[in-house]
Structure 1
Amino acid sequence: MTQREQAASAFDDLHARHAAALTQQTYLLTGRPRLARRAVEQGFRLAWQRWPQVAVDPDPAGWVRAAAYEYALTPWHRLCPGLRPARKPRHFQESEPSDRALLEALLSLPAPYRRALLLHDGLGMGLYETAAEIEASTPAAAGRLTHAREHLAERLPELGLGGQEPVRQGEILRAGITGLAAAQQVAPGAAQCVRSGSERSDLRTTLAAVGLTGLFALATLVMMIATPDHYTPSPDKPLATAPHTRLSPAPRHGADIRKQGNAAVRKRLRQARLTPDVR
């Protein structure tokens, strides 16, 4: 068996053991079976694209779950009516009369609170592990969990959460959430289809990156060819073809007038010395 065949076998085994349960959990997170299947498929696609990293992860199923939950709660799904998280469950299968009320109460929670509650009380994860998966501090995760339980206790008093210790509240909610998830028949896609879809998506991404790089290089080459390699002066500004000729300064009229007056005075004095005095 080649290395690729071994990786495909390990991936298929991971998918077979966890895909169905993960799809049921994601349905409780979103209330939409189509979005739940798509989110889980996307999580496994990313896992196959990064399989060397996922294969050595201490919890490969947790890696896929985190990727699926992130995709399911992406805000841009609100722009697509078919993928928008529901306020009321779609295609819901009841196992108990109170199941619909519990799911509607879960969907009424803010998405970060709902995710923390499903991880901690639904899957039985510890508080520290829950905080790490939702990328929050431990006090923040504890606060979300407390507010979610208070909301459910107020909305569904028949659950008996009011006045109970936190540990007992977690036990009650885990039993209810586990039964609710098990009743949902949301079938995931086949592992082989997930792997082939992941490879096609990876190929399209590579081709798109190569195409954009080639387009950028072509645009750069066209600009280099079209741009002249020397400076052409503007026709509105002729070049100077002769050196500047220094012009004599303009005559200062005041000084010339004074010189002319002094010459006239000297002339009269000479004439007076040559003419005898008349007594």
Structure 2
Amino acid sequence: MDYHLETRKPVLGQAGTLAVGTEGGVRGSAWFLLQISPNSRLSQEVVLDVGCPYVRFHTEVHWHEDHKFLKVEFPARVRSPQATYEVQFGHLQRPTHQNTSWDWARFEVWAHRWMDLSEHGFGLALLNDCKYGASVRGSVLSLSLLRAPKAPDATADMGRHEFTYALMPHKGSFQDAGVIQAAYSLNFPLLVLPTPGQVPMATWSAFSVSSPAVVLETVKQAESTPQGRTLVLRLYEAHGSHVDCWLRTSLPVQEAVLCDLLERRDPAGHLPFRDARLKLTFSPFQVQSLLVVLQAPLN
């Protein structure tokens, strides 16, 4: 077992101010201050929004420790031999027990935006916006927040930190409950910007996909034509399934063709584009890249 887990103990610092941050309406929140040690303190706002499937923990830490490791744990009433962790363009599963020496050695797992512990019909997901060390032991979900090593960098993680994690209980599997979409929402919240004049009431989207199993991860200009009319779209299958989906767009498309990660055209990858949409077929965790050439503007 790793040394930091053998010597773990709960933070028993003196709780400071506890106050209601936002009351009523579409958002409710509570705020508190916790003195971790004489040198370090933590403040946290717990936020619940109307219509939001998760509870957010917006956290600020002033961290000045030596050889310490700060984690947060959530005991859950969920029993499963496997937990699921997001990796780039997919997810993987790791055991929640230590039956073998291999299980014992894997005391922590990388997790990009979410981890999930589910049994039949119910589960609990832990989302985050910048913390990537996670683990589940039994029914306890744990997320590593800050470290204080002194080699090779004696100042690693020292100072002020601001981050957010969230708890999302859900029915069914994490795929059916929309955990992946919720994690994207936490990491990329909608921005509200002022616009001059009146704003049309009609909704508009440059691109959309018909299946929740397919994620449109990237929309960028092609490297070969940085000022041109060619876009690169990168999509992947996130549920671990075979799926057909429609990619729709509101942009005037002249041509769509599959390409590799270096944005080189696939000679046999031309995609028929009709009625502002094209059909894509994915195998589990497959990544597909497309070159989309827009029509030239009318003079």
**What is the TM-score when the length of structure 2 is the normalising length?**
0.25
Of structures 1 and 2, the one scoring higher in RCO (CA 8 A, sep 6+) is: 1
Tell me which structure has the larger Cα radius of gyration. 1
**What is the TM-score when the length of structure 1 is the normalising length?**
0.26
Normalized per residue, the structure richer in helix is 1
